[in-house]
Amino acid sequence: MTHGMVSAPQPEAVETGLDILNSGGNVVDAAIGAAMVQTVVDPQNCGIAGFGSLHLYLADRDVHTCIDFHGRAPLATKPEMWEPLILGECEDGFGFMLSGQVNEIGYQSMTTPLSLKAFHEAMERFGTRSLAEVMGPAIEYCEEGFPVRPSLHGLWNRGPVNGRIAHIRRLTEDPAAAKIYAKADGSLYGVGEMVRNPDLGATYRRIAEQGIEDFYSGEIAHRMDEDIPAHGGLLTLADLAACETETVDPLRTDYRGYAVATNQPPGGGLMIVVMLNILENFDLAAMGHNSPDYIATVAEAMKIATVDKDNRMGDPRFFDIPFAELTSKDYARAMADRIKAGEKTHVPRMNSGTEESQETTHICVADTSGNCVTMTHSLGSSSGVVTDGLGFMYNNCMMVFDPRPGNTGSLAPGKARFTALSPTIVFKDDKPFFLVGSPGGTTITMGNLQAILNVIDFDMTAQEAVSAPRFMATSDTIEVTNRIFRATERELQSRGYPTHRHAVSHMMPHVHGIRIVDGKLDGGADPSNDGMAAEV
């Protein structure tokens, strides 16, 4: 038995991870086994045809690394192909609306599917079991079914938001998807009703028997290749053959004596580094948690990092990121001085009034020996496409590319779009102290940042850190949850800040984390969805 903890948005995934730890598996076995279950019970938030970022630290093997598996634009992509279709840009700068929603739903919206390859690689290099061995619970949920959770039901029934499509279209427009997620009368399954996906179970059984090569070059690959180009999609066998993960060293900074390690671009860890370096120049604890001074200061750091993201961060294979400047303490001090002088950073946007889709999921696993995994994986907001008989939905990460040629995030064949995925591990005295990550689109970095500040500056437990009222600033507007005091909001407005109050008490992202203090584990699961943190 491995004494450890799992935190995730789905109880089924948490239980699977705990079962693997309880039977002697290590944290990687538990994380990947749980992630496979997530692909079944949260099938529009993640899947084997998705993308993500895995950050692991194995104290007993002296390993600290990240596996990047961001999807890449198909080789048939042309930089200008969608420019005539532009209708608008999301308010937070993370996605565009196009005529016909071709980047959001359907066969053209897919980037290369790398999640399965990353899961296999993690198990081969760092697990104690094979991928096939830990796939059993996922197959069981496919064949025996799982009950629809309230948060999943809410996602399925989310209506159109400021130009984005109603989510039900992803579940019902494609006949192969509707066969899985809709009843005979066309309605979706309700809370507590069982969803079964025997086609996905058969696909998983085949992968367990034949290996992941079947997905990337064998029978499954050929079935994808027969379906996708026939429906106008860009993804082909050549793209599947080119699928490769990338192993990279974590990006590092220090914050108030703690070492912070996060992922490299095209993930969002560089934004975490920029914001922490700026905020180290302020006595946040003395300001008081979520006071007007605190929110204004942190929001300005968020806005500075957002402008840097929009203009100077991208896929390092295609864009020369000024790492030395962005990670330097001198740059951070200069930005902090701007904030102290009362300067407000402006976040340029093509237009306003739109929101991005924020579907993704996360898994945290840690044990008392100091081994830990934090991984964010996603389908974007899902393409709505299922190849008949295979059972899995494809990602729609083409949605977040910039359809305007010549920009940092513009379309290009083989390119990954910069994302906010930022699984992070904080170290104290060279030992893991806090691991954190979350789903939530471009809000991910902002939620992860606040959880880190809550733990370090305000000495919160993991559950307190992920549950505390949050705010976001990914545009000129400061967004607050309904638990931020109205008096605080009025004070921010009096200082010239536009604000937007959300009706919900807990807003995106859904932050999850585990803290390790004196060999003891305490975990946190964001209360805004159905997740949990538990240990064995």
The pLDDT of residue 183 is 93
The pLDDT of residue 357 is 44
Q: What is the pLDDT of residues 260-276, one digit of tens each?
A: 999 999 999 999 999 99
Annotated catalytic residue: which of 2, 306, 360, 419? 360
Least confident of 24-33, 182-191, 368-377, 429-438: 182-191
pTM summary value: 0.96
The pLDDT of residue 506 is 85
The pLDDT of residue 356 is 41
Q: Where are the domains of the chain?
A: 12-51+71-244+380-400, 248-354+420-535
63 forms bridges with which residues in the sheet?
58
Burial classification of residue 487, based on how many CB atoms lie within 10 Å of its CB (0-12 exposed, 13-18 middle, 19 or more buried): exposed
Say how far residue 209 (Cα) sits from the centre of its chain. Answer: 29
Reply yes or no on whether 360 is catalytic: yes
Torsions phi, psi of 424, nearest 5? -130, 145
Averaged over 8-20, what is the pLDDT? Answer: 98
Q: What is the pLDDT of residues 112-124, one digit of tens each?
A: 999 999 999 999 9
Query: Over the chain, what is the mean pLDDT?
Result: 94
Torsions phi, psi of 10, nearest 5? -125, 120
Q: What is the pLDDT of residues 206-243, one digit of tens each?
A: 999 999 999 999 999 999 999 999 999 999 999 999 99
Q: What is the pLDDT of residues 139-187, one digit of tens each?
A: 999 999 999 999 889 888 877 665 578 889 999 999 999 999 999 998 9
Domain 248-354+420-535 belongs in CATH node 3.60.20.40: yes
Averaged over 115-135, what is the pLDDT? Answer: 98
The pLDDT of residue 355 is 42
Torsions phi, psi of 257, nearest 5? 90, -5
Exposure string (b/e) for 222-235, b if CB count within 10 Å is 16 or more?
eebbebbeeeebbb
User: What Cα–Cα distance (Å) separates residue 240 from each residue in 86, 110, 213, 386?
Assistant: 28, 12, 10, 16
Residue 532 host element (H or E): strand 532-535
